[in-house]
Amino acid sequence: MNHPPEPPSEGTAYETALHRVVGLADYERVAGIGSPLLKEDLSRMHELARRIGDPQRRVPVIHVAGTKGKGSTAAMISSILVAAGHRVGLFTSPHLHTFRERIRIDGESISEARFVNAVNRVWPHVEAMAKEDGAPTTFELLTAMAFDLPLSEGVDVLVLEVGMGGRLDSTNVADATVDVITSVSLDHTAILGGTVELIAAEKAGIIKTATPTVVAPQVSPGALEVIKERARAVDAPLVEIGRDVHIDVLDHDLMGQTVAIKTSRRHYGVRFPLLGAHQAENAATAIAAVEEFDASIGPVVIARGLASVHWEGRFQVLDAGSPTVVVDGAHNPQSMGVLRDAVREYLDPADTVVVFGCSGDKELPGMAEQLASLATHVVVCTSRHPRAVPADRVASVFEAVGVPTSHAPNVAVALDAARQIATALGAIVVTGSLFVVAEALEAWQGIEPERYPELERPTASEAKSVSGLG
Question: What does the pLDDT read at residue 362?
Answer: 80
Residues 349-395 pLDDT 10s? 999 999 999 988 788 999 999 999 999 999 999 998 888 899 999 99
User: What per-residue confidence (pLDDT) applies to 185?
Assistant: 81
DSSP 72-134: HHHHHHHHHHHHTT--EEEE-SS-SS-GGGGEEETTEEPPHHHHHHHHHHHHHHHHHHHTTT-
Judged against a pLDDT cut of 90, whether residue 133 lies above it is answered with no
> Domain 13-307 in CATH: superfamily?
Mur-like, catalytic domain (3.40.1190.10)
State how far the Cα of 387 lies from the Cα of 29, in Å rounded to an integer. Answer: 7
CATH tag, 316-445: 3.90.190.20
CA distance 211 to 289: 11
Q: How confident is the model at residue 171 (pLDDT cuts 50, 70, 90)?
A: very high
Ranges for all domains in the chain classified under CATH 3.40.1190.10: 13-307
Q: Does position 470 have pLDDT exceeding 50, yes or no? A: no
pLDDT for the residue numbered 466: 27
Interatomic CA distance for residues 325 and 375, integer angstroms: 14
The CATH 3.90.190.20 domain(s) of the chain lie at: 316-445
Round to whole Å and give the CA distance between 148 and 142: 10
Q: Quick one: pLDDT at residue 235?
A: 98
Indicate the SS3 state at residue 176: coil
**Model pLDDT, residue 1:** 45
The pTM of the full predicted model, rounded to 2 decimals, is 0.91
CA dist., res. 150 & res. 155, Å (int): 4
What is the model's pLDDT at position 250? 97
* Per-residue model confidence (pLDDT) at position 367: 95
In this prediction, what percent of the chain has a pLDDT beyond 90? 81
Q: Give the model's pLDDT for residue 33.
A: 43
For the chain, what is the mean pLDDT?
Answer: 90
Instruction: Tell me the β-bridge partners of 327.
Output: 316, 430
Residue 40: pLDDT band with limits 50, 70, 90: confident
SS3 assignment, position 167: coil
pLDDT in tens, 51-89: 999 999 999 999 999 998 999 999 999 999 999 999 999
Q: For 237-277, what is each residue's pLDDT tens digit?
A: 999 999 999 999 999 999 999 999 999 999 999 999 999 99
Using the predicted structure, report yes or no on whether residue 168 has a pLDDT greater than 90. yes
Give mean pLDDT, residues 93-109: 96
pLDDT score at 461: 39
